[in-house]
Structure 1
Amino acid sequence: MPRPTLILLCGLPGSGKTTLAKHLARVVPAVRLCPDILEYGFWDRRERDENRLTARALGVAVELHHLTASLDELGARIESRTAEGRWGSVPVTRDLLEEYAEQFEAPEADELDLFDRPPAERDAQGPSGKG
């Protein structure tokens, strides 16, 4: 039986967290908890540290996936999903996105080193499953 793993997805709106979460739910297999539970972006290190330490205390591996894109790309993705009327999509203005970007604390190398690496076969696959 594979070791239980908590997979945290970290990024601003439009960075691809939902796309990656859906992909991982298929290939791991995994239970996807979203958006108001765990898939809200883990915007600061304190939140990420708390989740990592709690999971480790339970003997659970913990992965952190930091997803990023330019503000222009994030804005375009948000506009697209809002226009499509996707379930759960929330309109985010450019001003709000810029405000979020200022609040977001991206993980640095020293923090990323505290997390487990995904298995090599899964690490090579992107959300499309093609790598």
Structure 2
Amino acid sequence: MSSTKNMGRFGQRPCHPQLSEHLLKWASPSPRHTRNGTRSCPSRLRARTRAVIGRPARRATAGDITLRRARIAVRANVSNDEAFGRKRVMMRRPTLFLTVGLPCTGKTTAARRIEIEQKALRLTKDEWVKALYGHENPPSAQDVIEGRLIQIGLRALELGNNVVIDYGLWSRDERSALRQAAADLGATVEMRYFELTPAEQRRRLDQRQAEAPHTTWPMSDEELAEWAANIDIPTPGELDGSEPIDDPPAGFATWDEWRRHRWPPSVS
């Protein structure tokens, strides 16, 4: 004879060994019978039982297993992609490209190529001056536009983007200030110097003036000769980055201070 020690309220064993006695008082007093005559837990008791101990797990099908594996794979791929993205951001340092040279020596052509190949933000001063002033080319406005473009470029570097600054930079101090600004942001600098013979430079200027006058201004031979005498040609150490950055000029504590003086925020 079987023992009645563990029998339930209705003469059958409880639906679950962990079922508490306080649940039994909520059961219906009248038991239900299945088709084969055995007793079963009333519906109210089954509902409360499921609420406490959970619905019995059904047998997993092949479709369930496939779906579970797919979800795990997706989570793993997302985690790997996020980790790779963080690692790539941490490892990749943005680059500031500087084009140095006299007019019509190939700076903008190279800057456009860098823009595409290096996915860089290109900042060409002449395009902005032409758009704002047309045939005029006021020196005071040039300084302000250059300064504004530098601010945009430094912000882009700070956000992790490559930048190419495309305007002359004839002065060594200008290049040193930008090298220091890039270094302060953790960016690298690549400097490109462009040079042509005076005859070839004159030929290109005349060709551009004839074919695309809206992109340039008239320039005399005297102006070209004066500019050629004033440019500080980059040294090999500047070009390959091996030469240390100079100290700021006398009267300026930092290159940042000199930069604000050289490129004022507004036209005076």
TM-score bracket, normalised by the shorter chain, equals: 0.7 to 0.9
**Residues 1:33 and 2:160 are matched in the alignment:** no
Query: How many matched pairs?
Result: 115
Q: Who is 1:128 aligned against?
A: none
**Residues 1:61 and 2:151 are matched in the alignment:** no
Q: Which entry has the higher C-alpha Rg, 1 or 2? A: 2
2 CA distance for matches of 1:71 and 1:42? Answer: 19
Q: Which amino acid aligns with 1:16?
A: G
Structure 2: give runs of 5+ residues left out of the alignment. 1-87, 127-145, 147-164, 243-268
Q: How does 1:105-116 map to 2 (within 5 A)?
A: 105-114=232-241
1 CA distance for matches of 2:166 and 2:220? Answer: 20
Q: Which amino acid aligns with 2:198?
A: L
Given candidates 89, 98, 101, the residue that maps to 2:225 is: 98
Q: Who is 1:121 aligned against?
A: none
Structure 1: give runs of 5+ residues left out of the alignment. 116-131
Q: Who is 1:51 aligned against?
A: 178
Higher relative contact order (CA 8 A, sep 6+): 1
Higher fraction of helix: 2
Shift of 1:39: 2.0
2 CA distance for matches of 1:104 and 1:69? Answer: 13
Give the TM-score taking structure 1 as reference length. 0.81
Shift of 1:86: 4.5
Q: The residue matched to 1:87 in structure 2 has which SS? A: helix
**Residues 1:88 and 2:178 are matched in the alignment:** no
1 CA distance for matches of 2:106 and 2:227? Answer: 16
Q: Who is 2:102 aligned against?
A: 12
Q: Which amino acid aligns with 2:116?
A: R
Shift of 1:35: 1.6
Give the TM-score taking structure 2 as reference length. 0.41
1 CA distance for matches of 2:125 and 2:209? Answer: 16
Superposed CA RMSD:
1.5
Quote the sequence identity (%): 37
* 8 Å CA contact retained: 2:191, 2:240: no
